[in-house]
Amino acid sequence: MRFLDSIKEKASAIYLLGDMFDFWDEYRYVVPKGYTRFLGKLSELTDNGVEVHFFTGNHDLWTYGYLEEECGVILHRKPFTTEIMGHEFYLAHGDGLGDPDPKFRFLRKLFHSTTCQHLLNFMHPYWGMKLGLNWAKHSRLKRADGKEEPYMGEDKEYLVQWTKAYMKNHSNVEYYIYGHRHIELDLKLDRHVRMLILGDWIWQFTYAVYDGEHLFLEQYIEGESQP
């Protein structure tokens, strides 16, 4: 909340690239407990004219209108190409872009299926949220224990390989920015193209800033002035 407070007077647009919640699933008349201050801050930003773009990640893809209607965000379920201050950006959470893990690919397909979503929403919210939060806790502990892959190198990092293949037919894009991998990466792919992976907001507190000329990967340290 303090980070969003620190940039609310400076930002013309904010892009949240997914997994902002441990787990999020909307029911028709029920929304998850525990995120009130964050949802209120999103509403404050959009009420004050700041564009907030919210990308669904693999932890918060079960959203069905609440965030747009109540908080005023612009929701993106797929990668989004946009021009910012005269430069072309490709923005995405990053899941599903070249990940070779068959288990993850199966789970992603399952979670995105309307059948799975309907079954989850038929479940009582107590059990649905309990199931989802336990799954999210397992994922977080895996990262905390160092079991998640660190940066694997340019030749093995699947998001890098996917981006290199994509950019061959999309020469207009200058900046590729992702979340998902929970690593901090700023990589120059050729003279005119850069790729960033943003890290995370739990341990690394990293984020990107673009001022129209330069793209920075920064770390939020409470009490310090922000770009």
Domain encompassing residue 74? 2-219
pLDDT of residue 110: 84
Domain contains 46: yes
Domain contains 225: no
**pLDDT band at residue 106 under the 50/70/90 scheme:** confident
Residue 207 has pLDDT above 70, yes or no: yes
CATH, residue 84:
3.60.21
Domain contains 9: yes
Residue 69 has pLDDT above 90, yes or no: yes
Domain contains 227: no
Mean confidence (pLDDT) of the chain: 89
Tokens 């673009």 locate to 210
Residue 115 has pLDDT above 80, yes or no: yes
Domain contains 116: yes
Q: Considering its fold, how many domains does the chain have in total?
A: 1
**pLDDT band at residue 146 under the 50/70/90 scheme:** low
**Distance from C-alpha of 227 to C-alpha of 216, rounded to nearest angstrom:** 9
Domain contains 119: yes
pLDDT of residue 114: 85
Sheet strand arrangement including 184-190: 80-84, 87-92, 175-178, 193-198, 184-190
> Cβ contacts of residue 59 below 8 Å, gap of 6+?
18, 19, 21, 22, 23, 24, 136, 139
pLDDT of residue 223: 58
